[in-house]
Amino acid sequence: MTERITVELVDGIADVRLDRGDKMNAMDGRMFAALIDTAEELATTPGLRAVVLSGNGPSWCAGLDFSGFEAMAGGVGGDGSTSTGSIGAIEEGRITHRAQQAVWGWRELPVPVIAAVHGVAFGAGFQLAVGCDIRIVHPEVRMSVLEIRWGITPDMTCTRLLPGIVGADVAKELIWTGREVGGDEALRLGLATRASENPHGDAMELARTIASKSPDAIRAGKRLVEAAYAEDFEAGFAHERDEIGALIGSPNQVESVTAFFEKRPPEYVDPTS
Protein backbone atom coordinates (compact mmCIF):
# COMPACT_ATOMS: atom_id res chain seq x y z
CA MET A 1 0.00 0.00 0.00
CA THR A 2 2.93 2.34 0.69
CA GLU A 3 6.71 2.24 0.50
CA ARG A 4 6.90 1.42 4.22
CA ILE A 5 3.91 -0.89 4.70
CA THR A 6 2.46 -3.80 2.73
CA VAL A 7 -1.18 -4.84 2.92
CA GLU A 8 -2.79 -8.05 1.70
CA LEU A 9 -6.57 -8.23 2.05
CA VAL A 10 -8.07 -11.71 1.89
CA ASP A 11 -11.54 -12.76 3.07
CA GLY A 12 -12.01 -9.59 5.08
CA ILE A 13 -8.66 -9.88 6.89
CA ALA A 14 -6.00 -7.24 6.31
CA ASP A 15 -2.50 -8.67 6.73
CA VAL A 16 -0.56 -5.44 7.37
CA ARG A 17 3.24 -5.55 7.65
CA LEU A 18 5.79 -2.88 8.47
CA ASP A 19 8.21 -3.26 5.58
CA ARG A 20 11.54 -1.79 6.59
CA GLY A 21 13.11 -5.01 7.76
CA ASP A 22 16.68 -3.99 6.97
CA LYS A 23 16.26 -1.22 9.59
CA MET A 24 14.31 -3.42 12.02
CA ASN A 25 11.25 -1.42 10.96
CA ALA A 26 12.54 1.66 12.77
CA MET A 27 10.16 4.58 12.35
CA ASP A 28 11.18 7.49 10.18
CA GLY A 29 8.93 10.20 8.80
CA ARG A 30 7.75 8.00 5.95
CA MET A 31 6.88 5.16 8.33
CA PHE A 32 4.77 7.51 10.45
CA ALA A 33 2.98 8.70 7.31
CA ALA A 34 2.46 5.12 6.15
CA LEU A 35 0.96 4.06 9.48
CA ILE A 36 -1.46 6.98 9.46
CA ASP A 37 -2.44 6.63 5.80
CA THR A 38 -2.86 2.85 5.95
CA ALA A 39 -5.12 3.01 9.01
CA GLU A 40 -7.20 5.72 7.31
CA GLU A 41 -7.60 3.65 4.14
CA LEU A 42 -8.53 0.52 6.06
CA ALA A 43 -11.16 2.43 8.04
CA THR A 44 -13.16 2.88 4.81
CA THR A 45 -12.37 -0.52 3.23
CA PRO A 46 -15.60 -2.41 2.47
CA GLY A 47 -15.88 -5.84 4.01
CA LEU A 48 -13.06 -5.40 6.53
CA ARG A 49 -13.48 -7.82 9.44
CA ALA A 50 -10.09 -7.85 11.24
CA VAL A 51 -6.52 -6.58 10.96
CA VAL A 52 -3.25 -8.36 11.75
CA LEU A 53 -0.35 -5.95 12.20
CA SER A 54 3.21 -7.34 12.12
CA GLY A 55 6.72 -6.50 10.96
CA ASN A 56 8.77 -7.99 8.14
CA GLY A 57 12.34 -9.03 8.93
CA PRO A 58 13.89 -9.84 12.29
CA SER A 59 11.76 -7.50 14.44
CA TRP A 60 8.40 -5.90 14.98
CA CYS A 61 9.80 -2.36 15.40
CA ALA A 62 13.00 -1.07 17.01
CA GLY A 63 11.54 2.38 17.72
CA LEU A 64 12.40 5.72 16.17
CA ASP A 65 15.08 5.94 13.51
CA PHE A 66 18.32 6.50 15.42
CA SER A 67 19.31 9.55 13.39
CA GLY A 68 16.45 11.41 15.05
CA PHE A 69 17.96 10.84 18.48
CA GLU A 70 21.36 12.10 17.38
CA ALA A 71 19.75 15.36 16.28
CA MET A 72 18.01 15.66 19.65
CA ALA A 73 21.40 15.83 21.37
CA GLY A 74 21.77 19.28 19.82
CA GLY A 75 18.44 20.44 21.18
CA VAL A 76 16.56 20.05 17.89
CA GLY A 77 12.80 19.87 18.21
CA GLY A 78 12.05 22.04 21.19
CA ASP A 79 8.51 22.44 19.82
CA GLY A 80 7.84 18.72 20.16
CA SER A 81 8.88 17.68 16.66
CA THR A 82 11.93 15.62 15.70
CA SER A 83 14.20 15.24 12.71
CA THR A 84 12.24 12.19 11.59
CA GLY A 85 9.69 14.54 10.07
CA SER A 86 6.80 16.77 11.11
CA ILE A 87 5.46 14.16 13.51
CA GLY A 88 4.58 16.91 16.00
CA ALA A 89 2.08 18.50 13.63
CA ILE A 90 -1.59 18.49 14.61
CA GLU A 91 -3.96 18.21 11.67
CA GLU A 92 -7.37 19.85 11.69
CA GLY A 93 -10.13 17.77 13.18
CA ARG A 94 -7.83 15.44 15.14
CA ILE A 95 -7.15 15.16 18.86
CA THR A 96 -3.64 13.84 18.14
CA HIS A 97 -0.44 15.00 16.56
CA ARG A 98 1.02 12.77 13.85
CA ALA A 99 3.18 10.67 16.19
CA GLN A 100 0.13 9.94 18.34
CA GLN A 101 -2.06 9.30 15.32
CA ALA A 102 0.35 6.63 14.04
CA VAL A 103 -0.83 4.60 17.06
CA TRP A 104 -4.30 6.02 17.66
CA GLY A 105 -5.38 5.39 14.06
CA TRP A 106 -5.28 1.64 14.72
CA ARG A 107 -7.24 2.01 17.94
CA GLU A 108 -9.85 4.04 16.02
CA LEU A 109 -10.44 1.27 13.48
CA PRO A 110 -13.92 -0.21 14.01
CA VAL A 111 -12.62 -3.79 13.75
CA PRO A 112 -10.20 -5.76 15.98
CA VAL A 113 -6.50 -5.10 15.41
CA ILE A 114 -4.20 -7.97 16.43
CA ALA A 115 -0.48 -7.30 16.86
CA ALA A 116 1.90 -10.17 16.05
CA VAL A 117 5.09 -9.09 17.83
CA HIS A 118 8.52 -10.67 17.46
CA GLY A 119 12.13 -9.58 17.83
CA VAL A 120 12.21 -6.20 19.53
CA ALA A 121 9.44 -3.72 20.31
CA PHE A 122 11.23 -0.67 21.66
CA GLY A 123 10.02 2.88 22.23
CA ALA A 124 7.71 3.84 19.39
CA GLY A 125 7.40 0.15 18.50
CA PHE A 126 6.29 -0.67 22.04
CA GLN A 127 3.71 2.10 21.87
CA LEU A 128 2.40 0.86 18.52
CA ALA A 129 1.85 -2.58 20.03
CA VAL A 130 0.02 -1.03 23.00
CA GLY A 131 -2.33 0.69 20.57
CA CYS A 132 -3.57 -2.63 19.19
CA ASP A 133 -6.54 -4.47 20.66
CA ILE A 134 -4.70 -7.77 21.15
CA ARG A 135 -0.98 -8.60 21.33
CA ILE A 136 0.36 -12.05 20.47
CA VAL A 137 4.10 -12.09 21.20
CA HIS A 138 6.99 -14.47 20.67
CA PRO A 139 8.42 -15.89 23.94
CA GLU A 140 11.82 -14.36 23.09
CA VAL A 141 10.45 -10.92 22.26
CA ARG A 142 12.14 -7.92 23.88
CA MET A 143 9.81 -5.06 24.78
CA SER A 144 10.72 -1.74 26.37
CA VAL A 145 9.26 1.72 26.88
CA LEU A 146 12.67 3.06 25.96
CA GLU A 147 12.02 6.81 26.09
CA ILE A 148 13.54 7.29 29.55
CA ARG A 149 16.95 6.50 28.04
CA TRP A 150 16.67 9.72 26.07
CA GLY A 151 15.37 11.79 28.98
CA ILE A 152 11.81 11.93 27.71
CA THR A 153 8.43 10.29 28.34
CA PRO A 154 6.24 8.30 25.95
CA ASP A 155 4.17 10.63 23.78
CA MET A 156 2.38 8.33 21.33
CA THR A 157 -0.76 7.70 23.44
CA CYS A 158 1.06 5.16 25.64
CA THR A 159 0.61 7.07 28.89
CA ARG A 160 -3.17 6.96 28.36
CA LEU A 161 -3.46 3.37 27.11
CA LEU A 162 -0.80 1.40 29.00
CA PRO A 163 -2.28 1.84 32.52
CA GLY A 164 -5.53 0.29 31.32
CA ILE A 165 -3.63 -2.77 30.13
CA VAL A 166 -1.15 -3.45 32.94
CA GLY A 167 -2.32 -1.18 35.77
CA ALA A 168 -1.00 2.20 36.82
CA ASP A 169 1.80 0.87 39.04
CA VAL A 170 3.28 -1.44 36.39
CA ALA A 171 2.90 1.26 33.73
CA LYS A 172 4.84 3.71 35.88
CA GLU A 173 7.61 1.19 36.57
CA LEU A 174 8.03 0.37 32.88
CA ILE A 175 7.99 4.07 31.90
CA TRP A 176 10.40 5.11 34.69
CA THR A 177 12.95 2.31 34.21
CA GLY A 178 12.81 1.53 30.49
CA ARG A 179 13.67 -2.06 31.37
CA GLU A 180 13.15 -4.88 28.89
CA VAL A 181 10.28 -7.32 29.24
CA GLY A 182 10.38 -10.77 27.62
CA GLY A 183 7.43 -12.72 26.27
CA ASP A 184 6.71 -14.72 29.42
CA GLU A 185 6.78 -11.65 31.67
CA ALA A 186 4.71 -9.67 29.16
CA LEU A 187 2.09 -12.38 29.45
CA ARG A 188 2.19 -12.32 33.26
CA LEU A 189 1.86 -8.54 33.33
CA GLY A 190 -1.07 -8.56 30.93
CA LEU A 191 0.98 -6.67 28.34
CA ALA A 192 0.65 -9.67 26.03
CA THR A 193 -2.64 -11.41 25.38
CA ARG A 194 -0.87 -14.61 24.41
CA ALA A 195 2.66 -15.91 23.89
CA SER A 196 3.32 -17.97 20.77
CA GLU A 197 6.22 -19.50 18.88
CA ASN A 198 4.43 -18.35 15.73
CA PRO A 199 2.83 -14.98 16.54
CA HIS A 200 1.83 -14.14 12.98
CA GLY A 201 0.34 -17.56 12.28
CA ASP A 202 -1.67 -17.51 15.50
CA ALA A 203 -2.75 -13.91 14.90
CA MET A 204 -4.04 -14.84 11.45
CA GLU A 205 -5.87 -17.85 12.89
CA LEU A 206 -7.53 -15.64 15.50
CA ALA A 207 -8.40 -13.10 12.80
CA ARG A 208 -10.06 -15.82 10.75
CA THR A 209 -12.11 -16.86 13.77
CA ILE A 210 -13.19 -13.26 14.35
CA ALA A 211 -13.96 -12.79 10.64
CA SER A 212 -16.33 -15.77 10.75
CA LYS A 213 -18.57 -14.07 13.33
CA SER A 214 -21.24 -11.42 12.82
CA PRO A 215 -19.42 -8.23 11.78
CA ASP A 216 -22.10 -6.12 13.45
CA ALA A 217 -21.61 -7.91 16.76
CA ILE A 218 -17.80 -7.73 16.52
CA ARG A 219 -17.87 -3.98 15.93
CA ALA A 220 -20.44 -3.45 18.67
CA GLY A 221 -18.28 -5.44 21.07
CA LYS A 222 -15.27 -3.25 20.35
CA ARG A 223 -17.31 -0.08 20.85
CA LEU A 224 -18.73 -1.30 24.15
CA VAL A 225 -15.43 -2.44 25.63
CA GLU A 226 -13.76 0.81 24.59
CA ALA A 227 -16.62 2.78 26.18
CA ALA A 228 -16.24 0.82 29.43
CA TYR A 229 -13.01 2.62 30.27
CA ALA A 230 -13.30 5.70 28.08
CA GLU A 231 -11.66 8.84 29.36
CA ASP A 232 -11.01 12.32 28.07
CA PHE A 233 -8.43 11.20 25.52
CA GLU A 234 -8.30 14.64 23.90
CA ALA A 235 -7.12 16.25 27.14
CA GLY A 236 -4.80 13.33 27.90
CA PHE A 237 -3.12 13.48 24.51
CA ALA A 238 -2.71 17.25 24.81
CA HIS A 239 -1.06 16.71 28.19
CA GLU A 240 1.36 14.22 26.58
CA ARG A 241 2.28 16.81 23.96
CA ASP A 242 2.81 19.52 26.59
CA GLU A 243 5.10 17.31 28.69
CA ILE A 244 7.22 16.08 25.77
CA GLY A 245 7.45 19.61 24.38
CA ALA A 246 8.87 20.85 27.67
CA LEU A 247 11.35 17.97 27.90
CA ILE A 248 12.82 17.92 24.40
CA GLY A 249 15.80 20.24 24.18
CA SER A 250 15.90 20.83 27.93
CA PRO A 251 19.34 20.51 29.62
CA ASN A 252 18.63 17.18 31.32
CA GLN A 253 17.13 15.70 28.17
CA VAL A 254 20.12 16.72 26.08
CA GLU A 255 22.41 15.34 28.79
CA SER A 256 20.61 11.99 28.66
CA VAL A 257 21.26 11.61 24.94
CA THR A 258 24.79 12.99 25.06
CA ALA A 259 25.83 10.75 27.94
CA PHE A 260 24.43 7.68 26.18
CA PHE A 261 26.45 8.31 23.02
CA GLU A 262 29.54 9.22 25.04
CA LYS A 263 29.10 6.01 27.07
CA ARG A 264 29.28 7.73 30.48
CA PRO A 265 26.92 8.23 33.42
CA PRO A 266 24.67 11.28 32.94
CA GLU A 267 25.12 14.29 35.20
CA TYR A 268 21.69 15.79 35.85
CA VAL A 269 20.64 19.12 37.32
CA ASP A 270 17.94 18.91 39.99
CA PRO A 271 14.58 20.43 39.04
CA THR A 272 13.70 23.76 40.63
CA SER A 273 10.06 22.81 41.10
Q: Which of 36-40, 173-177, 235-239, 258-262 has the lowest mean pLDDT?
A: 235-239
Three-state secondary structure string covering the chain: CCCCEEEEEECCEEEEEECCHHHCCCECHHHHHHHHHHHHHHHCCCCCCEEEEEECCCCCECCECHHHHHHHCCCCCCCCCECCECCCCECCCCCCEHHHHHHHHHHHCCCCEEEEECCEEECHHHHHHHCCCEEEECCCCEEECHHHHHCCCCCCCHHHHHHHHHCHHHHHHHHHHCCCECHHHHHHHCCCCEECCCHHHHHHHHHHHHHCCCHHHHHHHHHHHHHHCCCCHHHHHHHHHHHHHHHCCCHHHHHHHHHHHCCCCCCCCCCCC
**CATH number of the domain located at residue range(s) 5-198+215-261 in this protein:** 3.90.226.10
Q: What pLDDT, in 10s, does the model give residues 45-96?
A: 999 999 999 999 999 999 988 675 444 334 343 334 333 347 777 777 787 8
Q: In the chain, where are the structural domains located?
A: 5-198+215-261
Q: Model's pTM, two decimal places?
A: 0.88
pLDDT of residue 116: 98
Q: How confident is the model at residue 103 (pLDDT cuts 50, 70, 90)?
A: very high
Q: Does position 11 have pLDDT exceeding 50, yes or no?
A: yes
